[in-house]
Amino acid sequence: MEKKGGKRLARKDTDRRREELPEAVEKPAETEGDAVGPQMSRGRRLWHDYGYLLVTLAVVFVLFRVLLQLAYVPSGSMETTIPTKSLLVGWRLPYVVSDPLPERGDIVTFWNEEMDRVLVKRVIGLPGETVSIKDGFVYIDGGKLAEDYLPVSGITRSEETTFEVPEGHIFLMGDNRTGSLDSRFWDDPYMPLDQLQGRMLLAISIGPKQSWQGIHWIA
């Protein structure tokens, strides 16, 4: 009897202690939205994910459509100044905002209507000048033109020997005088200034068996 009574007393004591313990306060579980704050709008999320890419593309577009120009020389018409299959980097901005007069000796790109493509040549004759070809040499208004950039001098030939450059136009030749189709042979020898696209600054040649390899300043 004493054992049963003792067990009942112990059970009552345990129940009393449980009743005296404070009830646990349940905290509401945090939701994912509460943890990260308000969600970004679709537009802001797209800008967050792709904004840097868009800015980079915009900079590249402005750089190569307004400031600089890339050109490719597929032939040997400018050898050895510019090897065949060279990449050129040029200055475009002045020719985007106006039609500036280039300097004699500049290497320029321009749209040639007769050949229906962009060409790369050197400026020889300026508006109002007379270009003459005699004994393999070039003369400007009667004075012999010094052409230190040519790989070989005294080999300039042309069926027509005198060219009167009209105003608003220029006369161009390739440095490879025996392998360039230029003002000497076009039906219309004179290129309008408004067809100029850029002045070349650098030539990059990395192909095998080139006259030179690397990066050269050609301005």
Structural domains of the chain in order of their starting residue, each with its CATH number: 68-217 (2.10.109.10)
Q: Which two tokens stand for residue 175?
A: 């440095």
Predicted model pTM: 0.71
pLDDT for residue 209 = 81
Q: Of 59-63, 112-116, 183-187, 203-207, which one has max mean pLDDT?
A: 183-187
More confident residue, 46 or 101: 101
pLDDT for residue 41 = 76
- Is the pLDDT at 151 greater than 50, yes or no? yes
> In terms of C-beta density within 10 A (0-12 exposed, 13-18 middle, 19 or more buried), how is residue 108 classed?
buried
- Is the pLDDT at 78 greater than 90, yes or no? yes
Which of 4, 7, 41, 77 is catalytic? The answer is: 77
Alpha-helical segments (H) within the chain: 2-20, 32-36, 42-62, 93-97
Is 211 an active-site residue?
no
Residue with tokens 């010094």: 146
Which of 86, 121, 158, 205 is catalytic? The answer is: 121
Contacts of 113 (CB under 8 A, 6+ apart): 188, 195
Q: How far apart are CA 106 and CA 169, in angstroms?
A: 14
Residue with tokens 């969600």: 39
- Is the pLDDT at 19 greater than 70, yes or no? no
pLDDT for residue 35 = 47
Strand blocks (E) in 26-167: 68-73, 86-91, 107-112, 117-125, 130-134, 137-140, 143-144, 162-164
Task: Please name the helix (run of DSSP H) or strand (run of DSSP E) that holds residue 23, with its range, or none.
Answer: none
